[in-house]
């Protein structure tokens, strides 16, 4: 029988090393994060009125990786779908905030905000400073998780931003 005698310090260091290694191995890739975001946006985005949302990464020969955000809306008067395409470089995003400013029922929405008018709107051929993602009522916890997913994706793409703290909550 072999007896191993490790002191407490060595055990703590070994445990810490194990925790660090396990965190590195379980971080989602860009592709996995995009897939998760699209799945959650389909399930929890307010697609009944505001449309459906989708995010993807495109490689541009001049700019490198860009994010393309698509919003598909159904127009009952015209009986057809309309598409809005937004594209931006990950580094121009300064915040991914939660807000219920457009709602009266305390439902959180997500706002992707650029540091200037740096989000290109393909339909209007102009630049804007924010994209609003309207969420279904009663899913604020999932909305917070989706916000963290966007922040994680931006971090994976080289833009590490910190979410705005709610001093009354955090």
* Contact of 67 with 87, CB cutoff 8 Å: yes
For residue 78, being part of any structural domain is answered with yes
- Alpha carbons 32 and 30: distance in angstroms, whole number: 6
Burial of 96 (0-12, 13-18, 19+ CB in 10 A): buried
Residue 4 covered by a domain? no
Encode pLDDT of 65-118 as tens digits: 999 999 988 777 777 778 889 999 999 999 999 986 555 667 889 999 998 999
- Residue 128 covered by a domain: yes
Based on the structure, what is the number of domains in the chain? 1
Flag whether 23 is in a domain: no
Q: Is residue 10 part of a domain?
A: no
On whether residue 11 sits in a domain, the answer given is no
Q: Is residue 99 part of a domain?
A: yes
- Whether residue 19 lies inside any domain: the answer is no
Task: Indicate the pTM of the whole model.
Answer: 0.76
Tens-digit pLDDT profile for residues 33-57: 999 999 999 999 876 656 789 999 9
Between 85 and 15, the more confident residue is 85
Other CB atoms within a 10 A radius of the CB of residue 67 amount to 22
Parent domain of 41: 29-156
């Amino acid at each position: 029988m072999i007896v191993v005698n490790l002191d407490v310090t060595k055990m703590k260091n070994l445990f810490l090393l194990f925790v660090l290694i396990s965190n590195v191995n379980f971080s989602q890739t860009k592709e996995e994060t995009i897939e998760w975001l699209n799945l959650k946006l389909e399930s929890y985005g307010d697609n009944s009125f505001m449309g459906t949302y989708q995010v993807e990464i495109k490689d541009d020969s001049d700019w490198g990786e860009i994010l393309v955000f698509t919003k598909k809306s159904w127009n009952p008067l015209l009986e057809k779908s309309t598409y809005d395409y937004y594209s931006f470089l990950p580094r121009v995003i300064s915040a991914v905030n939660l807000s219920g400013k457009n709602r009266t029922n305390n439902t959180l929405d997500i706002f992707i905000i650029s540091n200037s008018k740096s989000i290109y709107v393909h339909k209007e051929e102009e630049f804007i400073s924010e994209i609003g993602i309207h969420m279904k009522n009663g899913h604020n916890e999932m909305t917070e998780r989706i916000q963290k997913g966007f922040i994680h994706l931006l971090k994976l793409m080289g833009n590490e931003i910190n979410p705005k703290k709610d001093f009354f909550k955090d």
